[in-house]
Amino acid sequence: MRTDTGQVFKLEDYRPTDYLIPETGLTFRLSPEATRVTAVLTVERRDGVAASVPLVLDGDGLTLGRVAIDGQTLAPTDFFATPDQLTITTPPAAARFQLLIETELAPAHNEALMGLYRSSNVYCTQCEAEGFRRITYFLDRPDILSIYTVRIEAPHHEAPLLLSNGNPVGSGELADGWHYAVWHDPFPKPSYLFALVAGALGKVADSFVTLSGREVELGIFVEPGKERLAGYAMDALKRSMKWDEEAFGREYDLGVFNIVAVSDFNMGAMENKGLNIFNDKYVLADHETATDADFANIEAIIAHEYFHNWTGNRITCRDWFQLCLKEGLTVFRDHEFSADQRSRAVKRIAEVRTLKAHQFPEDQGPLAHPVRPRRYREINNFYTATVYEKGSEVVRMIRTILGAETFRAGMDLYFERHDGEAATIEDFIKVFEDVSGRDLSQFSLWYHQAGTPNLTISSTHNAAAQEFTLEIEQSVPPTPSESRKRLMHIPLAFSLVGADGKAIEYSGVEGASVEDGVIHIRKRRHMVRFSGVAERPAMSLNRGFSAPVTLSVEQRADDQFFLAGHDNDTFSRWQAFNTLLTEVLISAFRQVLDGRQPGFASRLIELAGKIAGDETLEPAYRALALALPSEADIARDIGKNIDPDAIFSAREALTVAIAEANREIFSDLYDRLTDKDEFRPDAASAGRRALRNTLLDYLSLLQGGAALAARHFQSATNMTDRAAALSVLALRHNGSPETVKALADFEAKYATDPLVMDKWFQIQASVPGPQTIHAVRALTGHPAFSMANPNRVRSLVGTFSSANQTGFHRADGEGYRFFVETVLQVEKRNPQLAARLATALRSWRSLEPARQGKAREALLSIANTENLSADLRDIVERTLA
Ligand SMILES: [Zn+2]
């Protein structure tokens, strides 16, 4: 474990290295307790660098064997080594030399899951961001591009399969039942993309013919016996390869593309060149074990990692400050892929929900940072929703501003100009400026400035003058270390909607530049005057969520209702309804705090029924619209003095009111949606299941609800319906005989399937109320649970602390005490995972004073622990700052 050194890395300190490593040869002699790694590095001194400049290589907890230069073993006086650094004090005078380094590793004891480790007896690696230095000493930074040749040796019976990046170039038998394989990757790559896998795995094989007619061998490797669960992932891979050729003109470049699924993995998946390594949760699926959401995630993540081959691998990042260059862009690409494979409007709604649930609270709290940060203490903590999700929104805005065609021209230029390079955000912006002739300097603040901008908007209509005026004011709230903000360029898509639901044509506009339905807000205030507007329109604003901003709009309730029922753009229609729901829930929250029974306007309740039964709308859309804003969403919109119990009561009251008033519509529809066909994972079938399961949630609150959910559970023929029913039972009817039985049946049926048991943990961790803490504590002792496995920890502890508002934020602070204990326990093994868990308290300052005090105590008790890892200390100190 790397303890905190307090060192802060700054963007402005970037300078190129004195040495390069154009070629890297690695030989692994694998053994769980003592793996020998021999690295042979071709080192080149840059022009103009004096021969007396020492060569300093990064390490992390390494045990050094031998060091040699050009075949000569170095004397101890010629170098200086610690576990975390190797310095060649007097390198040879020649500008190019060969450096040999031997290290010894114990992969079986590597529980941090960075570098080379074992997962279920399979050797695997994770090197992003700085895991390669746990394998050998190296210039472990993304701007050092090298051509790798890797030889792997292992006992045949233990590891019949030996994989690395690139193409296989040799293999053979060795003495004592050992064998070897050699892999060569012709594309220069940074060390974080290095990968190795060795073990006994089952293979699913297929092939793909690229646009130019080259055949690529595809392989997905899984735990033996699970091959039949990899079919959907393989199909998603082939669709991704085809889509990238069509949408971006990008073709795959090696003869082999392999994916390996492992069960112990810190992240979702990793895009290592030609050898992606996946958390098995994002590969394995069939209708019996995976939900529709799992299928959608698999499709998206397979695509994401594949798309990195161009955006991340062929063009990589100059330094880790540029992480969004590969991540934001690749998330944008996978969002577009999923939108093309599924329903675009539904996909967009889901994206915006995710952005608001994960990125908005980050941007509004102590962990706020720009999409491209300027400093960090621990880069592992910057794999955030801001870098990924907001990073994707920024790319989307570039496309909105330039138009699809110019955007594509810019992407083409980016690939042409920077292929084989380690690039920066400035390089990325420049290609779009060059193809469009526009100045994007104000726009680029989206990369450099943290915080979610707010737009305050009001309108007036002058019927006599036929003039409609929008008054728009932008503000960007202060964030840590940035109190003064500059004005941003915000592309606000809009429509003036007439009584027939269609856009009103206007004859002229002044006060801002308005192109293709987008107002370009660049100043603090704009008075945007539309002329030739006879009737007073309803304002449909930020259509398609054209900018990741919050809106404070003065809009008549009548107009909101009208848009929620009639806006011709599906996304905007959802947004209008969601805004209405949020407003109603916030006032219900205040009523609860005042000790009153919350009341709801009947037209909102009726509108919910109308949306449910509107056959012109896709079922998936109706399911999303009927899913009320989450407790966390409501808390975020309230902003301060949060009492999670009052939010829960308000939301529960609205759910019951909607269910009672629409019982007949919901119940009829529920029956009609019963799926009699064979299971299909496609978007349309998934949408019908989603709607039916949403209706079940409402109906379960009415008389006979527990019995209905129990029948739903018993008759389910797929995991989507089974897990939904179990969740309804546990969350709505906790402790009932139906729930107790369903939980026991589920456990008995899936006891040996860890990924399905994760759902069982997750559901129980989500049960609202103060008693859940006891259940969660007890479940940490369940035989299927393990503190060493990230998926298990996330499903139980992660769900409880980040998704259970009333359970975690228990008024007496018991939830926080559990949180401290577990975070510290996890940290001993896996600091990265512990730091991720610790972000659950990032919004602690928005709580009411009593809970705030207890949350602060909890954070302080972690901060005061000695020898904390850099990962955890960084998160906790920034959260407290
Ligand atoms: Zn990625």
**Greatest distance between any 2 Cα atoms in the chain:** 95
How far, in Å, is the centroid of ligand 1 from the Cα of 271?
7
Tokens for 241, please give them. 């390869």
Q: What angle (nearest 5°) sits at the alpha carbon of residue 846, between those of residues 843 and 851?
A: 95
**How much is the pLDDT for 845?**
97
Q: Is the pLDDT of residue 2 over 80?
A: no
More confident residue, 198 or 569: 198
How far, in Å, is the centroid of ligand 1 from the Cα of 51?
39
pTM higher than 0.95, yes or no?
Answer: yes
Burial 541-555 (b: 16+ CB within 10 A, else e): bbbbbbbbbbbebeb
**How much is the pLDDT for 788?**
95
Q: What angle (nearest 5°) sits at the alpha carbon of residue 195, between those of residues 113 and 145?
A: 115
Q: In 3D, which of 53, 38, 153 has the Cα closest to residue 100?
A: 38
How far, in Å, is the centroid of ligand 1 from the Cα of 438?
29
**How much is the pLDDT for 481?**
86
Do 139 and 57 touch, CB atoms closer than 8 A? yes
Averaged pLDDT, 797-826: 98
Q: How far is CA 371 from the centre of its chain?
A: 14
If you ran DSSP here, which 8-state letter would residue 655 be given? H
Q: In 3D, which of 223, 221, 195, 226 has the Cα closest to residue 206?
A: 221
Whether 305 is a known active-site residue: answer yes
Tokens for 642, please give them. 């949060």
- The three-state secondary structure class of 349 is helix
Averaged pLDDT, 592-601: 96
If you ran DSSP here, which 8-state letter would residue 228 be given? G
Instruction: State what percent of residues in the chain have pLDDT above 90.
Output: 98
Q: What angle (nearest 5°) sits at the alpha carbon of residue 163, between those of residues 162 and 166?
A: 145
Q: Is the pLDDT of residue 666 over 80?
A: yes
**How much is the pLDDT for 195?**
98
Over the chain, what is the mean pLDDT?
A: 97
Residue 507 main-chain phi, psi, to 5 deg: -95, -25
> DSSP states of 737-791 as a string?
HHHHHHHHHHHHHHTT-HHHHHHHHHHHHT--STTHHHHHHHHTTSTT--TT-HH
Q: pLDDT, tens digit, for every residue of 209-258? A: 999 999 999 999 999 999 999 999 999 999 999 999 999 999 999 999 99
Tokens for 547, please give them. 């900018």
Kindly tell me the burial class for residue 797, based on how many C-beta atoms sit within 10 Å of its own C-beta (0-12, 13-18, 19 or more). buried
- The three-state secondary structure class of 517 is coil
- The three-state secondary structure class of 687 is helix
Tokens for 275, please give them. 């050898």
**Whole-number Å distance between alpha carbons of 589 and 17:** 57
In the numeric block, the tokens 């207890």 are attached to 854
Among positive and negative, which fits the CA dihedral 564, 339, 452, 406?
negative
Q: pLDDT, tens digit, for every residue of 541-596? A: 999 999 999 999 999 999 999 999 999 899 999 999 999 999 999 999 999 999 99
How far, in Å, is the centroid of ligand 1 from the Cα of 306?
9
> DSSP states of 808-872 as a string?
HT-TTSHHHHHHHHHHHHHHHH-HHHHHHHHGGGTTGGGB-HHHHHHHHHHHHHHHTSTT-BHHH
How far, in Å, is the centroid of ligand 1 from the Cα of 305?
6
β-bridge mates for residue 40, sequence order: 25, 100
Indicate the pLDDT class of residue 1, thresholds 50, 70 and 90: low
Tokens for 334, please give them. 């996978």
How far, in Å, is the centroid of ligand 1 from the Cα of 821?
31
CB atoms within 10 A of CB 608: 26
Catalytic residue from among 305, 327, 482, 618: 305
In the numeric block, the tokens 């994401």 are attached to 304
Residue 708 main-chain phi, psi, to 5 deg: -60, -45
Residue 567: which residues within 8 A CB-CB, separation 6 or more?
495, 497, 501, 540, 573, 576
**Whole-number Å distance between alpha carbons of 285 and 269:** 16
CB atoms within 10 A of CB 507: 9
Q: pLDDT, tens digit, for every residue of 3-16? A: 677 899 999 999 99
Q: Is the pLDDT of residue 827 over 90?
A: yes
Q: pLDDT, tens digit, for every residue of 118-163? A: 999 999 999 999 999 999 999 999 999 999 999 999 999 999 999 9
| Rounded alpha-carbon distances, angstroms, from residue 772 to 610, 634, 725, 812, 856 | 36, 22, 19, 13, 22
How far, in Å, is the centroid of ligand 1 from the Cα of 272?
10
Tokens for 315, please give them. 């063009």
Indicate the pLDDT class of residue 332, thresholds 50, 70 and 90: very high
Q: pLDDT, tens digit, for every residue of 403-412? A: 999 999 999 9
